[in-house]
Amino acid sequence: MNALTTRRTALKLGLASAAGLAVPGLPRAQTSAPVPSVVPPQLMRLATPLPANEVHVFPDAYRLFWSLPGGQAWIYAIRVGRDGLYEPGEYYVGAKKEWPSWTPTPGMIEREPEKYQKYADGGMPGGPGNPLGARALYLFTPERGDTFLRIHGTDDPGSIGRAVSNGCAGLINEQITQLYDQVPMDARVVLHPKRLDVITTDQG
């Protein structure tokens, strides 16, 4: 097994651990057990540390990690995008806004015109009831610029622990406010794939 294969195997096992397999109090990444709708953020030490000062979203566990030096992380309960709308990949925080305004994307309007067409022109000003909630982190890539993916707030706690959004990760407003203050501009954000294979390695 060469060095690259070893690194890939270690990375898969590390992501599995971070996603909940070896972190007490978190669900297994591939379990179908219900996730508690809202739990307080937890500061925990990870069995396999993540690089410090990064956001990692593990959709199968409905958890977002804000990693810290020393192998610790703040862990938040989240909702994620529906199948087909969630976009795994690497991003960076290209903008941060408090009580942001919101305009549906063309894709949202095309999928559900009866719900979103009325907001196509003027959008909705920021404030209570706005779909982006109290705070939003805007995800960018060097190639695309603004991807229209967000990590944002919601006033619907019943949506936490579910795959219900149009691709964004959502936290209750109280918790997105805490995360917003922790995460700086240009921070790296990793949206890990759904149904992460936590058993198969490059050795087969």
State both tokens at 175. Answer: 């918790």
Exposure b/e, 166-179, CB count within 10 A at least 16 = b: bbbbbbbbebbebb
Active site residue 152: yes
Report the distance separating Cα 179 and Cα 35, nearest Å.
20
Report the distance separating Cα 21 and Cα 30, nearest Å.
9
Look-up: residue for tokens 């591939």?
30
Identified catalytic residue from 56, 79, 152, 192: 152
Q: Is residue 161 a contact partner of residue 63, using CB atoms and an 8 Å limit?
A: no
- Cβ neighbour number for residue 107 with a 10 Å cutoff: 13
- Provide φ and ψ at 73, rounded to 5°: -160, 145
- Provide φ and ψ at 153, rounded to 5°: -90, 170
Active site residue 85: no
Identified catalytic residue from 168, 169, 189, 196: 168
- Catalytically active residues are 152, 168
